Amino acid sequence: MAESEIAPKFAPFIGMAGICFAMTFGCVGAAYGTAKSGIGIAGVGTFRPDLIMKSLIPVVMSGIIAVYALVIAVLIASDIGPPPAQNYSLFNGFMHLACGLSVGLTGLAAGYSIGIVGDMGVRSYMQQSRIFVGMVLILIFGEVLGLYGLIVALILNTKSKG
Amino acid sequence: MTTRRIVSEKTVLERDDKDFAPKAGEKSNITPAVPAHVIYKLLGFTFAMIVAPIGTYFLSVDTIFGGNTTWAGASAAIMANVVLFGFIIVAFQEDQSDALEAEWKEKESKKTT
């Protein structure tokens, strides 16, 4: 494959960077959310072990952030191929970088908010059971931030065909 | 005087095995602290969280969506949220069943007294 102006040799590098950013930033957010809310659950569990099952919700939500990042990383990876078979353009490279960054950084933001709300929410829930519905709503709104990043990344990804 | 310590009490590290052994004629309590059905639920959700989204993606990408990866990715994200809402519903019911059980036990104890 001859190097052309629209498909230079370094284009796959930028696309791969998109995969890497999606996975690392998304997992940093998910890890922070899991760890921070895990601290809160450990604090609650020593006093009210019966509340552990309901307190695990922020941990499950952090897991979903990582699933979003995983989905986008798999999507991008399925579009990248070695040069003789596929002419990977620079546009695709930048687009995949944008996909990865949008899902990764929104995942980081969502994981951060889930961690803080999860930690404080379960501790408050231990003392006042009516907090639960509010806590779940706030957690859902925090997680929706990651979902927006996923939607933008999915829409961007449709541009690679054609 | 502050250096004086009570030496009659042993710390955990100083105790022997026989200090932890149950007294004669008394069985040690080995009932699991977490009931089995809760563990099965948690294991099930863990398994679903790992398998459901990525499994949906790879199963549906060629069969249902005909190679359109965008829809397959969206369906994977939807499956992850389905697992989440399943967990929230189960956690909610768990709490109610605990409350009902406590109520039932209270009634029973009132009957016996």
Sequential DSSP letters for A51-66: GHHHHTHHHHHHHHHH
Range of the domain at A53: 11-79+90-161
Q: Torsion angle of alpha carbons A88, A105, A25, A93, nearest 10°?
A: 10
Residue A1 lies in a domain: no
Q: What's residue B54's pLDDT? A: 86
Residue A132 lies in a domain: yes
Cβ distance B77 to A50 less than 8 Å, yes or no, reads: no
Cβ distance A154 to B74 less than 8 Å, yes or no, reads: yes
Cβ distance B38 to A50 less than 8 Å, yes or no, reads: no
Residue A118 lies in a domain: yes
Residues of A in contact with B33 (CB under 8 A): 49
Residue A6 lies in a domain: no
Residue A93's φ and ψ, nearest 5 degrees, are -60, -50
Residue A98 lies in a domain: yes
Residue B82 has pLDDT above 80, yes or no: yes
**Over the stretch A17-53, which tens digit does the pLDDT of each residue have?**
999 999 999 999 999 999 999 999 999 989 988 888 8
To the question of pTM greater than 0.80 for the whole model, the response is no
Count up the domains in chain A and report the number: 1
Task: Give the Cα separation of A73 and A18 in Å (integer).
Answer: 8
Calculate how close chain B gets to A123, using CA atoms only, in Å. 17
pLDDT bin (cut points 50, 70, 90) of residue A161 is: low
- For chain B, give the percent of residues with pLDDT over 90: 0
CATH of the domain at A53: 1.20.120.610
pLDDT bin (cut points 50, 70, 90) of residue A113 is: very high
Closest residue of B to A51, CA-based? Answer: B95
Residue A84 lies in a domain: no
Cβ distance A74 to B70 less than 8 Å, yes or no, reads: no
- The C-alpha angle A104, B57, A109, rounded to 5 degrees, equals 20
Lowest mean pLDDT segment, chosen from A130-139, B5-14, B27-36, B43-52: B5-14
User: From the list A60, A155, A157, which residue is nearest B84 (CB)?
Assistant: A60
Residue A4 lies in a domain: no
Give the residue from A75, A84, A63, A98 showing the smallest Cα distance to A161. Answer: A75
Residue A100 lies in a domain: yes
